[in-house]
């Protein structure tokens, strides 16, 4: 099977790494990929949003299966275009991807199908939004309706912050059309988890639950980032909670989408808040989480190809997903200054420390190969992944490996997985 992966981050490196182990894969391409991905797949110089060119490429190279990383390609309709041309592709259609590309759509769907989420109201008019925010008071959450690269949500602690957010989105239009419509939402309190399933539109296979670390500094301080690290499985999600999430959230969402004529196949990723009133949806994503999947895939014993294939073919009801016992943690090594300004082009030293190791790996995020060496080429540069018998062991291995890697300005959080490590009896199993 000839496989194309679309994307260029740590998520896509993890996908390419896992796919490269499949006996079914004869040739792997990645568009546009990165330095590390280039060691495992042939890189194709086409951007993730140039869906026409990607379809041309897939057709000309007889690609049997395309796997899409970023939401922006899905929101552009890559799946619809590929399917129209008879090309097999894993992911939801443009209309189904609205679960992520329109927060108003997602909230309305949840309301209609009684899926637990925070109270909310939707506004196209800033005057009405201000009046509502004044009436409810802070803390309150203001969200742009459209895709903003993870920056469209403001958790406002004060009324003036909330009013300021409305101004930025609706008057100053900092995210252009994405902020013309907003969702104003009740602030939920609790611990966040990432709950991902692979679905064919009817059956859903849960992946290991994971926890992300969105803030740049230790102790969840500082601005939000694309994610500074993740671990799986998250012990806070036990079998009973997992079953509850499947029954109350995942399956009703998939059935609700089908009732709307929007059959959803691909990855459904529920960002959940575990409130004292049960799990509630913060947001849906329609793709693998980054950096969650970097910590999930190393524990997947099953071949990924049949899983993706069966989702595309609508036969997941007969598919099994097997997991290795133990835990996995992924720590992001970022360029100093990220998520603000940072420098790139810094030589990365010490990557040979990973050679021949199975318990630690480096998934590249923003790197480029420059002759025989790798240089930093983005804000998030590497994901150092450790796998161990339990979470403590995995964390120890990851940080030990990080000690061998260096580039100028390298920055990382020292406390990834701290929440789970604080909890008593952190023995996890698959
Ligand atoms: P979103 O853009 O919806 O993924 O939200 C980004 C982040 O904002 C989430 O991961 C949460 O940390 C936070 N957040 C979003 N919605 C809420 C909410 N209703 N209450 C509290 N925090 C939220
Ligand atoms: N880690 C969160 C996301 O992929 O959106």
Residues 78-104 have pLDDT tens digits of 999 999 999 999 999 999 999 999 999
Kindly give the number of the ligand 1 atom that is closest to the alpha carbon of 283.
3
Is residue 108 one of the residues assigned to a domain?
Answer: no
Query: Six-digit token pair at 8?
Result: 């260029």
- For residues 201 and 265, the answer to whether their CB atoms sit within 8 Å is yes
CA-closest residue to ligand 2 atom 5? 289
Would residue 99 count as lying in a domain? Answer: no
Position 51 pLDDT exceeds 90: yes
167 lies in some domain: yes
The finding on whether 310 has its CB within 6 A of some atom of ligand 1 is no
Domain assignment of residue 158, yes or no? yes
pLDDT surpasses 60 at 426: no
Quote the CA–CA distance of 360 and 399 in Å, as a whole number: 10
Whether 231 and 339 map to the same domain: the answer is no
The pLDDT value recorded for residue 424 is: 64
**H/E element, 54:** helix 51-60
- CATH number of 134's domain: 3.30.1490.20
Mean pLDDT, residues 358-369: 97
In this structure, the answer to whether residues 196 and 297 fall within a common structural domain is: yes
For atom 3 of ligand 1, the residue with the nearest CA is 283
Mean pLDDT of 331-345: 97
The range of the structural domain enclosing residue 227 comes to: 191-318
CATH of the domain at 275: 3.30.470.20
Interval 114-138: pLDDT, tens: 999 999 999 999 999 999 999 999 9
**pLDDT class of 45 with cuts at 50, 70, 90:** very high
- Ligand 2 pocket, 145 CB below 6 A? no
pLDDT of residue 423: 75
Distance, CA 369 to ligand 2 centroid (Å)?
A: 26
Round to whole Å and give the CA distance between 179 and 42: 38
**Which protein residue's CA is at the shortest distance from atom 8 of ligand 1?**
153
Q: How far is the CA of 359 from the centre of ligand 2 (A)?
A: 24
The yes-or-no verdict on residue 425 having pLDDT over 70 is no
Report the CATH number that the domain containing residue 351 is assigned in CATH.
3.90.600.10
Distances (CA, A) of 277 to 185, 188, 269: 16, 10, 21
Last residue of a domain, which of 54, 76, 93? 93
| CA dihedral sign, ordered 402, 304, 376, 212 | negative
Q: Quick check: 428 pLDDT over 50?
A: no
Q: Which ligand ends up closest to the CA of 119? A: 1
218 and 173 in a common domain: no
Q: Of the candidates 93, 110, 137, which is a domain's last residue?
A: 93
Atom of ligand 1 nearest to the CA of 188: 20
CA-proximal residue: ligand 2, atom 3 (nearest): 289
The answer to whether residues 195 and 312 belong to one domain is yes
CATH number of the domain bearing residue 81: 3.40.50.20
Q: Is 118 near ligand 1, meaning CB less than 6 Å away?
A: yes
Q: Which structure tokens are listed for 142? A: 């203001």
Per DSSP, the three-state class of 321 is coil
pLDDT at position 429 is 45
Ligand 2 centroid vs 149 CA: distance in angstroms? 10
Pocket of ligand 1 contains residue 212 by CB under 6 Å:
no
Question: 123 and 37, same structural domain?
Answer: no
398, 414: one domain: yes
pLDDT at 180 over 80: yes
Ligand nearest to the backbone CA of 150? 1
Say how many Å lie between the CA of residue 131 and the centre of ligand 2.
32
Q: Which ligand is nearest to the CA of 272?
A: 1
For the chain, what is the domain count?
A: 4
The Å distance, Cα 177 to ligand 2 centre, comes to 22
Instruction: Say if residue 342 is in the same domain as residue 420.
Output: yes
User: In angstroms, what is the span from residue 246 Cα to ligand 1's centroid?
Assistant: 21
Task: Classify residue 111: in a domain, yes or no.
Answer: no
- Is the model's pLDDT at 302 over the cut of 90? yes
According to the model, what pLDDT value does residue 150 have?
81
Q: Is position 109 within any domain?
A: no
For residue 54, pLDDT over 90 is answered with yes
Question: Whole-angstrom Cα distance, residue 70 to residue 92?
Answer: 12
The whole-number pLDDT of residue 420 equals 87
Q: Are residues 232 and 126 in the same domain?
A: no
In this structure, the residue with its CA closest to atom 13 of ligand 1 is 155
- Tell me how far the alpha carbon of residue 177 lies from the centroid of ligand 1, in angstroms: 20
Do 213 and 306 lie in one domain? The reply is yes
Q: Are residues 153 and 197 in the same domain?
A: no
pLDDT level of residue 149 (50, 70, 90 thresholds): confident
Q: Are 395 and 416 in contact (CB under 8 A)?
A: yes
Going by C-alpha positions, the residue among 376, 349, 373, 350 that lies closest to residue 365 is 376
Of 165, 186, 207, the residue at which a domain comes to its end is 186
**Calpha distance 426→421 (Å, rounded):** 7
Q: Is residue 81 part of a domain?
A: yes
Q: Is there a domain that residue 164 lies in?
A: yes
275 and 243 inside one domain: yes
Q: How far apart are CA 366 and CA 8, in angstroms?
A: 8
Confidence grade of residue 298 (pLDDT, cut at 50, 70, 90): very high
Measure 227 CA to ligand 2 centroid, in angstroms.
Answer: 7
138 lines ligand 1 (CB under 6 A): no
Q: Do 289 and 195 sit in the same domain of this protein?
A: yes
Residue 119: partners with Cβ closer than 8 Å, 6 or more residues away: 185, 186
**pLDDT tens readout for residues 391-414:** 999 999 999 999 999 999 999 999
Query: Exposed, middle or buried: residue 403 (CB in 10 Å: 0-12, 13-18, 19+)?
Result: exposed
207-247 pLDDT per residue, tens: 999 999 999 999 999 988 989 999 999 999 999 999 999 99
């Amino acid at each position: 099977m000839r496989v194309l992966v679309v994307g260029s981050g740590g998520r896509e490196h993890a996908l390419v790494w896992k796919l490269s182990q499949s006996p079914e894969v004869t040739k792997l391409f990645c568009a546009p990929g990165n330095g590390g991905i280039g060691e495992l797949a042939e890189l194709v110089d086409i951007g993730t949003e140039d869906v026409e060119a990607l379809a041309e490429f897939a057709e000309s190279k007889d690609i049997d299966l395309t796997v899409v990383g970023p939401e922006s390609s899905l929101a552009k309709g890559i799946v619809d275009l590929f399917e129209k041309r008879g090309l097999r592709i894993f992911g939801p259609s443009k209309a189904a991807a609205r679960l992520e590309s329109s927060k108003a759509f997602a909230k309305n769907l949840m309301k209609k199908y009684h899926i637990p989420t925070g109270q909310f109201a939707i506004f196209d008019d800033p005057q009405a939004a201000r009046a509502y925010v004044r009436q409810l008071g802070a803390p309150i959450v203001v969200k742009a309706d459209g895709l903003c690269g993870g920056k469209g949500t403001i958790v406002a602690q004060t009324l003036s912050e909330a009013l300021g957010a409305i101004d930025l989105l609706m008057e100053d239009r900092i995210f252009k059309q994405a902020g013309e419509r907003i969702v104003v939402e009740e602030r939920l309190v609790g611990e966040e988890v990432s709950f991902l399933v692979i679905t064919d539109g009817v059956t859903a296979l849960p992946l290991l639950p994971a926890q992300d670390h969105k803030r740049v500094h230790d102790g969840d301080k500082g601005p939000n980032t694309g994610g500074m690290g993740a671990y799986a499985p998250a012990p806070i999600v036990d079998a009973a909670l997992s079953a509850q999430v499947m029954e109350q959230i995942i399956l009703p969402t998939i059935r609700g989408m089908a009732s709307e004529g929007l059959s959803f196949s691909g990855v459904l990723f529920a960002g959940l808040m575990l409130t004292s009133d049960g799990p509630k949806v913060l947001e849906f994503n329609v793709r693998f989480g980054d950096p969650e999947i970097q910590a999930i895939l190393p524990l997947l014993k099953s071949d990924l190809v049949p899983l993706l294939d069966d989702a595309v073919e609508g036969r997941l009801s007969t598919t099994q997903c097997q997991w290795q016992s133990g835990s996995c943690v992924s720590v992001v090594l970022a360029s100093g200054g990220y998520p603000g300004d940072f420098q790139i082009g810094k030589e990365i030293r010490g990557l040979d420390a990973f050679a021949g190791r199975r318990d630690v790996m480096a998934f590249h995020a923003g790197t480029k190969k420059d002759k025989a060496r790798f240089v930093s080429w983005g804000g998030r540069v590497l994901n150092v992944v450790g796998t161990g018998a339990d979470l403590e062991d995995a964390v120890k291995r990851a940080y030990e490996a990080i000690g061998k890697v260096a580039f100028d300005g390298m920055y990382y959080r020292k406390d990834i997985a701290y929440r789970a490590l604080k909890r008593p009896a952190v023995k996890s199993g698959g």
